[in-house]
Amino acid sequence: MTRIHLSRADITKVEENYVLEALRSGWVAPLGPMVDQFEHDIAERVGVRHALALSSGTAALHLALLHFGAGPGKVVVLPSMTFAASANAVLYTGAKPIFVDSQQSDANIDVALLIETIDDLQSTGQDVACVMAVDLFGRCVDYTALRPALQRRGIPLVEDAAEALGASQQGQSAGSFGSASVLSFNGNKIMTTSGGGMLLSDDADLMARARYLSTQARQPAPWYEHTEMGFNYRMSNVLAALGLAQHSRLDEMIKRRRAHRDHYAKALRPVEGVRLLGRSAGDDDADDNCWLTCIVLDPERISISATDLIRRLDMQDIEARHLWKPMHLQPLYRDGRMYGGDTSAALFANGITLPSGSELTEAEVSRVAHSVLAIVGPE
Ligand SMILES: *Cc1c(COP(=O)(O)O)cnc(C)c1O
């Protein structure tokens, strides 16, 4: 039996053709017409005015944070449960990350708690540069509650939509909720440029500044003139070609991931003590991009632990993983401040992500569902 992976790059002839076209066009250096086209197409899909293609999502987060003044003496508030890239970008700037707990339903940041956190920080004289919201596993944070609350307090929002391209909330696309928003095209994301990211915003000044910083802060002069420190963060034309190809197939790839989610939901419905993260009764995850399907075990009802379930699946050549280990539990962030209780820690202890890639066949998803059922299901 071939091994079933969590989320592999889904590469076809379409991708081959686009990349070949880029190579043959001679545009193999950084930048080029396919980068411009890629930025244009993603901005249009998401519904924002400007897009900047970058070497990674982490680079995009770094530039967004710099724009909002994150730096020494400032704090940035973000969820504890996220990929390390979100918090690391805060460290790059010299600001201090402040972590907030998750809500039970979908592991996204608890918005009420986030607002309390900001008020507490401000009342004790802390300088909050911005909030970074993360749309975990392809599902948007509750922006109807969050955005007005931040506006009233005059705090900018950075949306880390690295996992959420194609998701939406009340008809608005993920990647358009922040004053600056970030996408990732890393290898296992919903679409890939092998490695890459994008900064999105309606703010022309923000984008001009980010563009300048992303190309070593080169001044407009006939020679290489520099007055401040910049970065080498731009995307190459060859990788943008891969991005264009993947984008042409994105809707189809999301559809397949959604079908996998529906398959898992149906197969696992009879099991008491297992729930699909983010999916409540009567909900069909229509707004999710279904990047990864996660299940959460109820330790009162299911005797096997998440770690053992992952191990048992691995023995059957099925790759499953833990949810993101919360940042406040990471040795790197041991001294960081955390607001909230044990929700994200419990989700980490009891949650696993199931193989969800768009390249998986229905038979493979069915094999995973059967394996999970055989391990956790009723006799
Ligand atoms: C993948 C990811 C990133 C970073 O993107 P890279 O392109 O890998 O740098 C940031 N935040 C979250 C939540 C992610 O999942």
User: Two tokens at 194?
Assistant: 């092998």
Task: Write down the pLDDT at residue 280.
Answer: 72
Please say if 189 is a catalytic residue. Answer: yes
* Ligand 1 atom at shortest distance from the alpha carbon of 136: 13
Nearest to 271 by CA among 375, 367, 362: 375
Q: In angstroms, what is the span from residue 138 Cα to ligand 1's centroid?
A: 12
Q: Which residue spans of the chain are classified as CATH 3.90.1150.10?
A: 250-376
Contact 56, 197 (CB under 8 A): yes
Q: Residues near 303 by Cβ (< 8 Å), separated by ≥ 6?
A: none
Task: Write down the pLDDT at residue 1.
Answer: 72
Longest CA span, the chain:
75
Cβ neighbours of 110 (radius 10 Å):
24
Give all strands (DSSP E) within the chain, no chain letters. 50-54, 75-79, 96-100, 128-134, 157-160, 168-169, 172-173, 180-184, 197-201, 274-276, 293-297, 321-322, 337-339, 351-354
Q: pLDDT tens for residues 41-83? A: 999 999 999 999 999 999 999 999 999 999 999 999 999 999 9
d(CA 3, CA 156): 44
d(CA 293, CA 262): 10
Q: Is 57 in the pocket of ligand 1 (CB under 6 A)?
A: yes
Q: For atom 6 of ligand 1, which residue has the closest CA?
A: 57
* Ligand 1 atom at shortest distance from the alpha carbon of 186: 7
Q: Is 197 in the pocket of ligand 1 (CB under 6 A)?
A: yes
Q: pLDDT tens for residues 317-340? A: 999 999 999 999 999 999 889 999
Q: Which residue spans of the chain are classified as CATH 3.40.640.10?
A: 13-248
Q: In angstroms, what is the span from residue 305 Cα to ligand 1's centroid?
A: 27
Contact 56, 96 (CB under 8 A): no
d(CA 199, CA 231): 14
Q: Considering the domain 13-248, what is its CATH architecture?
A: 3-Layer(aba) Sandwich (3.40)
Task: Write down the pLDDT at residue 377.
Answer: 79
Q: Is 372 in the pocket of ligand 1 (CB under 6 A)?
A: no
Q: Is 237 in the pocket of ligand 1 (CB under 6 A)?
A: no
Nearest to 176 by CA among 146, 204, 201: 201
Q: Is 353 in the pocket of ligand 1 (CB under 6 A)?
A: no
Query: Considering Cα of 138, then 208, then 231, then 196, what sign does the dihedral take?
Result: positive
Q: Residues near 167 by Cβ (< 8 Å), separated by ≥ 6?
A: 135, 138, 139, 140, 161, 173, 174, 287, 288, 289
Q: Is 324 in the pocket of ligand 1 (CB under 6 A)?
A: no
Task: Write down the pLDDT at residue 31.
Answer: 83
Task: Write down the pLDDT at residue 185.
Answer: 98
N-terminal to C-terminal alpha carbon distance within the chain: 25
Question: pTM of this prediction?
Answer: 0.97
Residue type, 346: A
In the chain (379 residues long), the average pLDDT of successive 10-residue segments reads 92 96 89 95 98 98 98 98 98 98 97 98 97 97 97 98 97 98 96 97 98 96 96 96 98 97 94 90 83 97 96 98 98 94 97 97 97 87
* Ligand 1 atom at shortest distance from the alpha carbon of 185: 7
Task: Write down the pLDDT at residue 29.
Answer: 76
Contact 335, 349 (CB under 8 A): no
Q: In angstroms, what is the span from residue 183 Cα to ligand 1's centroid?
A: 8
Task: Choose which residue among 163, 188, 235, 356 to substitute to test ligand 1 binding: the one with the highest number of ligand atoms within 8 A of its C-beta.
Answer: 163
CATH C-level class of 250-376: alpha beta
User: Phi and psi dihedrals of 96, rounded to 5?
Assistant: -105, 125
Active-site annotation holder among 189, 255, 266, 325: 189
Task: Write down the pLDDT at residue 300.
Answer: 95
Q: Is 108 in the pocket of ligand 1 (CB under 6 A)?
A: no
d(CA 47, CA 242): 21
